[in-house]
Amino acid sequence: MDSNQTELTHAYAALTPDCVLNALEAFGFQPDAALQPMNSYENRVYAFRDADGNKHVVKFYRPKRWNLRQINEEHQFLFELADADVPVILPHVRDGISCFDYQDFFFAVFPQRGGRAFEAGNEEQLAIMGRTAGRLHACAKTRSFSARPKLNVEQFVQAPIKVAANSAMLPARYRDDYALISTELAELCEDWLQRLPEESWQRCHGDLHPGNILWTGDGVLLVDFDDCRTAPAVQDLWMLADSIEDRALLIDEYEQFCEFDWSQWRFAEVLRSMRLMQYTGWLAERWSDPTFPRHFPWFAQENYFADHIKQLQEQLRLLQAQ
């Protein structure tokens, strides 16, 4: 597919600037300045000011990724967390609605909040994040998701593997090696997840890495609940602390608000393995979206899959050694 054809057929081809402005105005939002595109690959996100000078962010969800019920459940989770004093950003509500539908695009509008990048190795920030994660999970455990998915190998690993395996980005000489290692690692991840008792599963942010945490100077702000799902608690913790010392600090603070089963740390490498395989499949699946070749050009390089296979082989070794 050539670049001109891709521009016309990708998921956001119909989301022109006029469409964005018309969508906002249709639900009572009045931009008073040009839209400013923001860094977001899975969704389309724009910042704007209204006539009163207030700053907002509009997020257009990727078509066909989430249905309305799932998005509303994400927003309901945010409202519950805010009521529990967990620092999150709430979507604006119009006539009882927080997720709007315009020309087959679901979108939400949030107040724009600023902050610095979270520093995972900073002890002060890590301690505050531990307490915040504890409060997040204390609230999350009070209810269950009914529409949001549960973390599982079939959706989060096997489907991405299939996409990557059938992608033109995978060189022919690596196809057998990729199929072998990804299949074996996926089966091992499934075996591990089956060991988790039912009480280990709860509502989670789902993608709580440092990039989704803003440091405001006196605390943290949790953003981007787009991947919230049912998962073990460690799903929201393993990307924040690698060393034994950092994990101890994080969990000591976490347990001021919520009990933690330390045995879940054994699943950190399982979750890392799943994330590595999901990420490669995600890049392959989204490659027709012109945003992706522009921001991830290294995915098209010859050595990407050679390096990825080595990563998966190392993850397999780590899991087999546990």
The radius of gyration of the chain's CA atoms, rounded to the nearest angstrom, is: 21
Q: In angstroms, rounded to a whole number, what is the distance separating the alpha carbons of residues 220 and 41? A: 23
Of 188, 133, 130, 210, nearest in space to 316 by CA = 188
Per the listing, tokens 């690596």 go with 174
Local structure of 78: helix, strand or coil: helix
Cite the DSSP H helix spans in 194-303: 244-254, 268-286, 291-295
The torsion angles phi and psi of 244, rounded to 5 degrees, stand at -60, -40
Encoded tokens for 197: 């008792």
CA 191: distance to chain centroid? 24
Catalytic residues: 207, 224
* Residues in the annotated binding site: 212, 224
Give, in order, the Cα–Cα distances in Å from 61 to each of 67, 92, 182, 194, 258.
10, 15, 29, 32, 32
* Residues in the annotated binding site for Mg(2+): 212, 224
Give, in order, the Cα–Cα distances in Å from 111 to each of 16, 22, 202.
22, 19, 28
The torsion angles phi and psi of 241, rounded to 5 degrees, stand at -150, 125
